[in-house]
């Protein structure tokens, strides 16, 4: 059943039926009711393909996922982000178009989506410091929102980011206030913008407390459990091991925990661990007393809000590019305790 057939059944023009269904004001309330009833009766549903052609909008938002080596993180964070965004899309009648690509083809995938008019906007995740995607998408003139920021990119763009620097500064300061003077940083890949900012926050806290910055106490790698374990082993086996760790993700912290336990040390007593927490549903760190002390910010909430920002951007193209900075929340757990200088 299409619009033409429905309008014939009703003895109305397609125009009137279309307007009645889409809530335009210039149609009589009685007519509208009659149309709605008939639409329900005949199970009429406007064809989405025809509609998008006519309106010029695809009512669909693109996410491009590179199939990289570091699938772990992407998958986990991505799932929650998408879960948050997907709900908002649905509320506004948008679909979500997912494209899985080999690393190398990523820009190409964006270009195709844009040139084919397959999507009205895209989301960019996990930007590197000097991320190419941003200028690329700007040139394409397609609305997009970045989850995170790219420090080295000067052109304006819409973004939503957590204040990674202040999160790590606060976290490190907390450890220092507990009496820890040797604090190890187990960071994500430092080509990622968030990792760079986190290191800055850590560095600033250590320096302004008058402590020495030890390059041997910092590591940077993909955020996997084994990498956390390996880094922690390296640090704990030093002659002068750290008494506390600050980690970039719960997954890394789990690896650190394993190394600590393995050495017969007690988490939160002999060694403290503070972690950043994306609040991923697969890795809950909750309950009355969460295991880890964390700086927490929900990636799911971020997904939902990026979705809102993007939809606004699409519907109001001339509005200034929105940016938003969220602060991570401090959550006390049992993984931290007094240090040697308490």
Partner DNA sequence: GCATTTTTTCAAAGCGCTTTGAGATTGGCA
Partner DNA sequence: TGCCAATCTCAAAGCGCTTTGAAAAAATGC
Residues engaged in binding its own copies (CB under 8 A): 43, 45-50, 52-53, 58, 60, 63, 65, 67, 71-72, 75-76, 78-80, 82-83, 85-87, 89-90, 95-101, 112, 115-118, 281-282
- Find out whether 171 and 276 touch, Cβ atoms under 8 Å: yes
**Interatomic CA distance for residues 325 and 162, integer angstroms:** 5
Kindly state whether residue 95 participates in binding DNA, applying the rule CB under 7 A: no
CA dist 144 to 64, 71, 107, 226, 252, Å? Answer: 12, 23, 14, 34, 31
- Find out whether 270 and 244 touch, Cβ atoms under 8 Å: no
- Find out whether 301 and 316 touch, Cβ atoms under 8 Å: no
80 binds, among its own copies, DNA, none (CB under 5 to 8 A by kind): its own copies
* Closer Cβ to its own copies, 135 or 151, answer by number: 135
**Interatomic CA distance for residues 13 and 84, integer angstroms:** 41
Build a one-symbol-per-residue string for 235-274: x at contacts with DNA by CB under 7 A, - elsewhere.
Answer: ----------------------------------------
56, 264, 287, 317: residue in contact with DNA (rule CB under 7 A): 56
* Closer Cβ to DNA, 43 or 318, answer by number: 43
Cβ at position 114, least distance to DNA in Å: 14
Kindly state whether residue 12 participates in binding DNA, applying the rule CB under 7 A: yes
As given in the structure block, the two tokens for residue 94 are 């948008």
Cβ at position 13, least distance to DNA in Å: 4
Which DSSP string do the residues of 138-184 spell out, in sequence order? HHHT--EEEES--TT--S--EEEEE-HHHHHHHHHHHHHHTT---EE
Cβ at position 59, least distance to DNA in Å: 11
Residue ranges that bind DNA, judged by CB under 7 A? 2-4, 11-16, 18-19, 21-22, 26-29, 31, 44-47, 49-51, 53-56
């Amino acid at each position: 059943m299409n619009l033409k057939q429905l309008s014939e059944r009703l003895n109305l023009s397609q125009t009137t039926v279309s307007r009645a269904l889409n809530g335009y004001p210039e149609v009589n309330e009685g007519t509208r009711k009659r149309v709605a009833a008939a639409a329900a009766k005949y199970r009429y549903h406007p064809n989405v393909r025809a509609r998008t052609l006519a309106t010029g909008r695809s009512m669909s938002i693109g996410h491009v996922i590179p199939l990289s080596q570091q699938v772990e993180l992407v998958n986990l964070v991505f799932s929650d982000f998408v879960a948050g965004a997907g709900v908002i899309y649905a509320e506004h009648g948008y679909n979500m178009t997912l494209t899985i690509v080999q690393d190398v083809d990523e820009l190409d995938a964006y270009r195709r989506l844009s040139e084919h008019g397959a999507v009205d906007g895209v989301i960019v995740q996990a930007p590197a410091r000097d991320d190419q995607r941003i200028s690329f998408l700007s040139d394409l003139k397609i609305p997009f929102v970045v989850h995170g920021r790219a420090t080295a990119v000067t052109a304006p763009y819409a973004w939503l980011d957590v204040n990674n620097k202040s999160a790590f500064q606060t976290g490190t300061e907390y450890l220092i206030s507990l009496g820890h003077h040797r604090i190890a940083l187990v960071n994500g890949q430092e080509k990622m913008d968030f990792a760079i900012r986190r290191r800055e926050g850590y560095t600033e806290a250590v320096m302004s407390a008058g402590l020495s910055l030890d390059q041997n106490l910092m590591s940077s790698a993909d955020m996997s459990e084994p990498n956390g374990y390996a880094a922690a082993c390296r640090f704990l086996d030093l002659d002068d091991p750290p008494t506390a760790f600050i980690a970039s993700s719960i997954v890394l912290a789990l690896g650190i925990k394993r190394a600590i336990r393995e050495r017969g040390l007690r988490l939160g007593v002999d060694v403290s661990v503070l972690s950043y927490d994306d609040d991923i549903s697969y890795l809950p760190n909750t309950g009355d007393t969460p295991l880890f002390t964390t700086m927490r910010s929900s990636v799911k909430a971020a997904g939902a809000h990026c979705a809102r920002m993007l939809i606004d951007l699409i519907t109001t193209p001339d509005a200034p590019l929105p940016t938003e900075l969220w602060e991570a929340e401090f959550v006390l757990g049992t993984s931290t305790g007094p240090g040697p200088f308490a």
